[in-house]
Structures are given as structure tokens and as C-alpha cells.
Amino acid sequence: MLNETFFNEFTIRLNRPASQVIDDLADKGVLGGIPVSRLYDDPDELQNLALVAATECTTEDDMDALVAGLREVL
Amino acid sequence: MTEDIKTISGNRGLQLDEPLIFEQGRAGRCGVDLAEITGTKNRLGGTDRTAPIGLPDLSEPQTVRHYTRISQKNYGIDAGFYPLGSCTMKHNPRVNEKLARLPGFAALHPLQPLSTVQGALELIDTCATWLKTISGMPAIAMSPAAGAQGELCGMMAIRAALTDRGDARKRVLVPESAHGTNPATAVACGYAVDSIPANERGRVDFDAFMEKLDGDVAAIMLTNPNTCGLFENDIIRIADAIHDAGAFFYCDGANLNAIMGNVRPGDLGVDCMHINLHKTFSTPHGGGGPGAGPVVLSEPLAAYAPLPFVVHGENGFDLVEHQQGAGAKSFGRLKGFHGQMGMFIRALAFMMSHGSDGLAQASADAVLNANYLLAELKDTLSPSFEGPCMHECLFDDSFLKDTGVSTLDFAKAMIDEGFHPMTMYFPLVVHGALLMEPTESESKETLDQYIATLKGLTAMARAGNTEHFQQAPRLTPWRRLDETTAARHPVLRWQPAKKEAKAAE
């Protein structure tokens, strides 16, 4: 995790490109966050970063599914 | 008279007097009771709230009543006739709303993996195809959020194209009757504005235009039909002359409802034009948005369109979000995400439910309705120009001469009659303008009631009943507001009484 303090979202560093990880999660029915490379023009150094948010609509089941999904695909 | 009745409560029948929500709050009153959170680590990094932030405390029924009551004070197209010229306040078909609320559209996140949003990208692409077909143009930028941002998009594309060919120019020609956003956009893009006068028929004075046209002109910004509701007959000659001078033709598409399905702007020589989906294609507006202002572009401008945009990729639809390298000509991003998705859904629903023949019919009916108003009112009010109009009709205030009643007074009296007033004092090219746009949505019965009301009010004004107009509106929750003080000393947020007294000193 890159930022120790946050409001509604935080950034994590993965061991491979975030877009691949998030696509793999999507195949499992989990929308697991946003590859930071989609937000910036110079994506290379940011390619392993993912931005993850929770809202008041996110349930505990959703969070458990994300954690379980990440364990599987990483 | 009703206006003399004073009630004890301040309510007027079922029109309830409603204080601000802040004035109703009582400390400790509660709508929702949440459990204390335990077992989590504070990750706010020292930015925790240290004092109350002053939100009012209300119960749930109080809150529900507050918002219900203020919603009942709205006047919108769902409540009645809204002939606001240049705004195309047409009915918002409910099928549009139903489709926009489908969970597969409504619950999307704009940055979901592309494999999970192929349907949404296809919808954007289909909507783009319809708009390109209707306008007869080869390319489109879907992302601009509204008309004025569409203008900015178009003029930035023109500037990028001129800069790219090493031919930076300094001036933009704008007719006198233009929407105020046209010159504002040109200035925002670094150009000087050169105004073109109108002729006695309310169109661009072609000779005056030719006198101003030279190698330093980057573009003309022209609305067609123009803001007087008149078709610019010289538009093809103007387009040819602009192109011969190496400049571009920006068309303000605000009045597309007059020609949709009947005339293609691309055939008139237009290089770029924004399309107000919230006007012509019936997506809701009038409450501050959201609008949507896609911009159609000619071949010479297509490469400069903003990011992101949808393309047909190897595995379905793709989204170009970044451009790098020598071929990258896009002028960049105008807006977060891909455009106003909810409006694309509604606009496409409007287009597909009408079909191409239905769109042409809608436009023809809009023109017919405006000409019906013009024909019925031309002997009572004073039309600004001779001959038929397009989708809106324009009058000046000479019919009120020597009555002591102004355009503003007349409009206020219309509110007491249950009508939203027409556009007043715009366009600036006629004195005390009254600009009416009925759209295709209105029935003959509604138009006849409106015509009878305007005739009746005019007779009252001419009979010397000035007081009736100067005191209007009488039947609204609030009477005339102090617009001068509001402009000079705007109070933009509520503050507790004590601080307010201090600020007034």
C-alpha cells in the first residue's frame, strides 16, 4: 500500500501490471479497482499501481470477494 | 384580488411557505442512528474533524417535507409551456429515462475494464454515428460536456490545426446576434473578436463580412438558423469565402432543432459544430445540467479531436485515452472520462424511437409551431423581421410603446398567467427582444391558450393598466427579487444570524 492515510481510496503496488490483474479479477466477476496507468500520460513507471476505493455501497461481502480474488490472481 | 389575502401561517392554500433547511435545524434532532464504529484503525492522518461543521439537524419527515415542498415550487417542462427562445425546451420522453436507468448502464464506472463495458462503448459509437449522419460530417468528438464546452472544443481544434500548419491567425468573426458564448470562446482561445453587423433582414451582412475577411481571420462563428430564428441564406457563399481565405467555419449548433433531418450542416460547408443533446435530442435541462455537447468535425480538423475517443479495435470496441509520438495531434483532454454517458443513452433513445423520418417530422413541426405563433401574434405584438421564421419567432417591444410597460413587466405578468416567459432582451440586435420557441412538443390547444393570454395582456397594457404589470408577479411564492443587490452584494451561503449581522455592517 503506497499511502498509509487516506479518505475513500488508496493505492496499492502489485507484482505485475495492474491492468492485467484487474482484467483477471473482472473475469472472476470482481471490479477490483483502476490501473493508475489509465489516469496519466506516462504510464510506464506507474503500470503496477492500482487505485482501490470503497463507498457506503460497498458491502463486507464485496471486500471479502476482492481480497479472495487478489489472492487467487497474484 | 387574491394577492390581498394574508394568511396567519404565511402559507397560501397548499402553496406552503418553506424556510431554509438551516433555519429549521434544532441541535440534537436526528434522522438516522448509526452504531459507533469499533475495531478499525484511524487512517485520516490527522485530518479528523475537530468541530461541528454546522449541518442542520432534522428528523426524516421534516427532511422529506422540505425537499417535497421546494420541489413543488419548480416550474419545468413537465409542469407547463416553456417557450424560452434559443433553449429548445422540448418534452423529455419517458422511454429515454427508462433506458438510462437500466442497471447495465446506470451502474457503470467509467474506468471499468473495457471488456466489461463493450455495450456502453457500442452505445457511444452508435450515438456518434447517428449524429455524424444527421449533420453530414465525417468525425465527432463526444466528450464535451455542454454547448459552451463544445464551442471551446471546436475552436481549440481550429487553433491546433492552424498552429500545426504554421499559420497562427489573430481574429475570429462573430455576427452581432451571436450567443454570448461565441465571442467568449474566441477570446478564451486567444483570438480578437471582430463583430459582423446584420442586414435589415436580420441575416449576416455579406458585404460587411467580405470587407472584414482577410488572411488574419482564423474562423467565423455562425449560428444557423441564427438567434433571430432566421435561416442564413448566404451560408454557402460565406463558407466558400471562409475556405478560400484559409480559415475555418465554426457553426453554433444550438438551433439544430430547426433543421434536423432536413438540412445537413456538412452540406453547407461547416468545419465543426457542437450539438446540444439537451436541446435537440430531448435530454433534460433547465436545472443546470447535465448537458452534452458533442462536436462534429470536418476531415481537416478530425485529427485534433480531444481524448478519449472510442475506436473499433481487434477485439471489439477500444478507448483511446493517451496519445504519444509524432502522429499524436489531439489537443488533449477537455473533461474527465468519455462524455455525458447518461445523455448519450437518452439522445440515442430519442433518435432511434423517432427514426430518421420522425426526426425530420419533429423538426418540421417545431418550425410549424413557431410560425403559427408568429402568424397569430404578428398583428398584436411587433415582429422584428418580415417573413416566416424557423423554429423560433422574434418580437421587439415597439408594441408596448407609450404604455409604461417594459418587456420585463410583460414577462412578469405572464408568470401570474401560469406561463414561463419567453427569452427576454436577447438577441441584442432588436430593442426589448421577446424570443419564443415553442418546439414540436406543444399541442395547438396550448399554443392557442398562450396566444390568447398574450393578446389579453397586450390589450390590458394598451388600455393603461400599467399597475397590473409593474406589480407582477403577484401569485408566486416570491414577488420581484432585488436583482441589483443580488448582483452587487451576492450572499452565496447561509450563515448563522449573528455573523450575518456583522457582515451587513
Question: What gap in Å lies between CA B462 and CA B319, rounded to an integer?
Answer: 62
For B337, name the nearest residue in chain A, comparing CA atoms only: A39
> Please, which pLDDT band fits residue B486 given cuts at 50, 70 and 90?
very high
Question: What gap in Å lies between CA B277 and CA B259, rounded to an integer?
Answer: 14
> Please, which pLDDT band fits residue A10 given cuts at 50, 70 and 90?
very high
CB of B165 within 8 Å of any CB in chain A? no
* pLDDT one-digit tens code per residue, B63-121: 999 999 999 888 899 999 999 999 999 999 999 999 999 999 999 999 999 999 999 99
Chain A residues with beta carbon closer than 8 angstroms to that of B40: none
- Cβ contact, residue pair B116, A31, below 8 Å: yes
- Cβ contact, residue pair A38, B321, below 8 Å: yes
For A25, name the nearest residue in chain B, comparing CA atoms only: B113
pLDDT of residue B290: 86
Given CA atoms B483, B488, B492, B496 in this order, what sign does their dihedral have? negative
Q: Which amino acid is at A47?
A: Q
Closest in B43, B113, B322 to A26, CB measured = B113
Mean pLDDT of chain B: 94
Average pLDDT over residues B130-135: 98
Is the pLDDT reported for residue B127 higher than 60? yes
> Please, which pLDDT band fits residue B6 given cuts at 50, 70 and 90?
confident
pLDDT of residue B360: 98
* pLDDT one-digit tens code per residue, B358-413: 999 999 999 999 999 999 999 999 999 999 999 999 999 999 999 999 999 999 99
* pLDDT one-digit tens code per residue, A41-70: 776 789 999 999 999 999 999 999 999 999
Question: What gap in Å lies between CA B221 and CA B235, rounded to an integer?
Answer: 12
* 8-state DSSP, A35: E
Give the residues across from B274 on adjacent strands: B295
Percent of chain B exceeding pLDDT 70 equals: 97
pLDDT of residue B346: 97
pLDDT of residue A72: 96
- Cβ contact, residue pair B113, A31, below 8 Å: yes
The distance from CA B389 to its chain's CA centroid, rounded to whole angstroms, is 21
Chain A residues with beta carbon closer than 8 angstroms to that of B112: 26, 31
pLDDT of residue B138: 98
Average pLDDT over residues A13-40: 95
* pLDDT one-digit tens code per residue, B300-318: 999 999 999 999 999 899 9
Tally of CB atoms within 10 A around B110: 15
CB of B49 within 8 Å of any CB in chain A? no
Give the residues across from B157 on adjacent strands: none
Closest in A5, A31, A34 to B43, CB measured = A5
> Please, which pLDDT band fits residue B1 given cuts at 50, 70 and 90?
very low
- Collapse the DSSP code of B67 into the 3-class scheme (helix H, G, I; strand E, B; otherwise coil) and give the result: helix
> Please, which pLDDT band fits residue B324 given cuts at 50, 70 and 90?
confident
Strand-pair category, B272-274 with B248-252: parallel
pLDDT of residue B12: 83
Nearest to B305 by CA among B152, B186, B445: B152
* pLDDT one-digit tens code per residue, B231-288: 999 999 999 999 999 999 999 999 999 999 999 999 999 999 999 999 999 999 876 6
CB of B34 within 8 Å of any CB in chain A? no
Average pLDDT over residues B483-490: 93
Interface test with A, best of B34, B37, B42, B43 (most A CBs within 10 A): B43
Alpha helices in B136-226, H assignment, sequence order: 147-164, 181-188, 206-212
Distances (CA, A) of B190 to B169, B176, B183, B385: 10, 20, 11, 35
Position with higher pLDDT, B43 vs B163 = B163
pLDDT of residue B504: 45
Judge whether B75 and B264 are in contact, CB under 8 Å.
no
Position with higher pLDDT, A55 vs B12 = A55
Tally of CB atoms within 10 A around B274: 28
- What is the residue-wise DSSP string for B397-441? GGGGTTTT--HHHHHHHHHHTT----EES-STTSTT-EEE---TT
Question: What gap in Å lies between CA B449 and CA A15, rounded to an integer?
Answer: 71
Closest in B43, B109, B115 to A6, CB measured = B43
Nearest to B409 by CA among B447, B366, B461, B364: B461
For B42, name the nearest residue in chain A, comparing CA atoms only: A5
Distances (CA, A) of B56 to B32, B61, B316, B496: 13, 14, 51, 11
The distance from CA B73 to its chain's CA centroid, rounded to whole angstroms, is 21
pLDDT of residue B4: 63
* Burial letters B115-149, b for 16+ CB under 10 A, else e: ebbeebbebbbebbebbbebbebebbbbbbbbbbb
pLDDT of residue B183: 97
**How close, in Å, is residue B28 to chain A by CA atoms?**
24
